């Protein structure tokens, strides 16, 4: 009943931040030594983690270094995306 979705390269991560999404779903954000987001892995029923994994892909591509508090909390991932110049 649950799916696993992964974005990025988990092996590059040196620390992990957990975000509980409710309904048995969660995401693990993997950060490198510079606290840059390098991967995200999520588990949840159906497509529960799909949107957050897609946003995580964009954060990884943007080489974002979000705060661990924002990742662990309920901060909107879309608001962390780099702004176009």
CATH code for the domain in which residue 15 is found:
3.30.390.30
User: Is residue 26 one of the residues assigned to a domain?
Assistant: yes
Burial category of 64 from C-beta neighbours within 10 Å (exposed 0-12, middle 13-18, buried 19 and up)? middle
Both tokens of 31, joined, read 């950060």
Encode 16-39: b = buried (16+ Cβ within 10 Å), e = exposed: ebebebeeebbbbbbbeeeebbbb
| Whether the predicted pLDDT of 65 surpasses 60 | yes
Q: What is the pLDDT of residue 82?
A: 84
Tens of pLDDT along 14-59? 999 999 999 899 999 999 999 999 999 999 999 899 999 999 999 9
Both tokens of 61, joined, read 């591509």
Q: How many CA atoms lie within 13 A of 31 on its CB side?
A: 16
Q: What is the pLDDT of residue 85?
A: 46
| Whether the predicted pLDDT of 84 surpasses 60 | no
Residue pointed to by tokens 């309904």: 23
Number of domains in the chain: 1
User: Is residue 82 one of the residues assigned to a domain?
Assistant: no
User: Is residue 17 one of the residues assigned to a domain?
Assistant: yes
Q: Which domain holds residue 29?
A: 2-72
User: Is residue 67 one of the residues assigned to a domain?
Assistant: yes
Q: What is the pLDDT of residue 67?
A: 93
User: Is residue 79 one of the residues assigned to a domain?
Assistant: no
Pick the more confident residue, 85 or 4: 4
């Amino acid at each position: 009943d649950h799916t696993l979705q992964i974005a990025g390269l988990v092996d590059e991560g040196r620390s992990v931040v957990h975000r509980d999404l409710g309904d048995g779903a969660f995401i693990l954000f993997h950060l490198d030594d510079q606290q840059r987001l390098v991967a995200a892995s999520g588990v949840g029923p159906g497509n529960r983690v799909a949107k957050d994994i897609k946003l995580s892909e964009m954060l990884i591509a943007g080489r974002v270094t979000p705060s661990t508090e924002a990742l662990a909390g309920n901060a909107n991932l879309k608001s962390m995306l780099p702004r176009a110049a």
